[in-house]
Amino acid sequence: MKIKEVSCKTALSKSLLPGLDYSLNPYYGCQHGCVYCYVPNVLRVEREDWGKFVNIRRNMPKVLSKELRNKRKGVVGVSTVTDPYQPLEKKFKLTRYCLQELLKHDFPICVQTKSDLVLRDIDLISKFSDAEVGITITTLNDNERALLEPNSSSIQERLFALKKLKEADIKTYVFFGPIYPTIELKDISKIVEIFADCSVDYVMVDKFNLKRDVWESIQNALSSEYKMMNISYERFFIDKEYYSKIFSAVKEACTKNNIGSEEAF
């Protein structure tokens, strides 16, 4: 892992994602190294290098502090092309320091992460007038999670984080995506019940986005997992109805459990 400290000129970028006005990315690169991540395509980074480097934008809290004095208030996405709570955040605390600056101006925030480290910052997040935290969950099978999201928090740690966030009266959601193709239609009801047990406000669903080289990366990660790879191939390229059926089942299960649901982007 190559770690480098760098300086940034700007902190807040205009976001084109629905519901977000700005994006805040304290790190360039991500330790989680998720095999299917779309960010290498966005940032034009070689996919084989993804997960092997992180640039730490050490001056971002200071830059953010200056920008917030003149910025129109809007929802800040934390983060959109990195995980704000990847392991390095435990040491460098850039996300925490940025949250402190955002809280001074009470900007609305939408945090999304795969890490239970977010629990460290409950004391800050709970003070915002408008804040929500989304925890990404792609499967309930932690062995599968470890294959495609090798350096991220376990599924149980993520579910625990959702419960603790809700106990702190913070709005929460599950970003259920990209939904692993190993998930069967009959399993959706039980999965959503588990989300409901965490008292989430809504579930957002997404499918795999097979941008350039993504399928090749998945194949490499699953080289010894023939069953998972075969199922993935079938549902990515042959069964064109798979995800539409899954999405419909999620929506139905969410309605049954009195929680909201929506499709991503």
pLDDT at position 62, please? 98
Task: Give the chain's residues under pLDDT 50.
Answer: none
What span, in angstroms and rounded, lies between the C-alpha atoms of 137 and 145? 9
HSE of 72 in the Cβ direction (CA atoms, 13 Å)? Answer: 4
C-alpha Rg value of the chain to the nearest Å: 18
Closest by alpha carbon to 143, among 233, 209, 222? 222
Closest by alpha carbon to 12, among 56, 54, 74, 58? 74
Q: Phi, psi (5° rounding) for residue 56?
A: -95, 115
pLDDT at position 48, please? 82
pLDDT at position 49, please? 85
| Full set of structural domains in the chain with CATH | 2-263 (3.20.20.70)
